[in-house]
Amino acid sequence: MYFMAIKPIDQPKKTVSMQRLAFIGVLILSGFLITKIPRKEQKNTQVLGEKIQTSIQKQKDEIISETKSSSKGIISYATSQLEGGMNIIVGEVSKTTGNIASKSAEAATDLVFQNTVGAIVKQIDKLPDRQQEQIKKEVCK
């Protein structure tokens, strides 16, 4: 008869069990680290968000103050230009009014002279020569 030799059952190696324990330990450690890392990032994100918000507010305030100061400059420049333009217009109106007034005064003087003195001169011209000479002597004295 032929007997087969019975192989002894292999005993599990200790290295395999150590590898399993090391793998489980790495999993637990990585799980622990993964839960801690996002919390740190969230804190940084909040602080960073506050810094960004503060920075944006500062930039907005700077832009507003620059806009106000440039607006004041533009308004003062426009006001001075308008005042200068108005002074020129007022000057021209004054000149024109003065010219019209002097021409009106001359026209009125001419009209009065023609209607009064002119009428008298016409009447003197109708007089005889001798009386005209007497009137000229009296007027020229």
Q: Cα dihedral sign for 85, 86, 89, 94?
A: negative
Looking at residue 60, its pLDDT comes to 85
pTM of this prediction exceeds 0.85 = no
Looking at residue 92, its pLDDT comes to 86
Largest CA distance in the chain: 199
Give φ, ψ of 6 to 5 degrees. Answer: -90, 130
Looking at residue 13, its pLDDT comes to 57
AA identity, residue 78: A
Looking at residue 103, its pLDDT comes to 86
Q: What does DSSP assign to residue 116? A: T
Looking at residue 4, its pLDDT comes to 62
AA identity, residue 133: E
Looking at residue 36, its pLDDT comes to 74
Looking at residue 15, its pLDDT comes to 60
CA 59 to chain centre: 17
Q: Would you give per-residue pLDDT tens digits along the chain (141 residues)?
A: 566 666 666 665 556 677 788 888 898 888 887 777 755 444 545 555 667 777 888 888 888 888 888 788 788 888 888 888 888 888 888 888 888 888 888 888 888 888 888 888 888 888 888 888 888 888 887
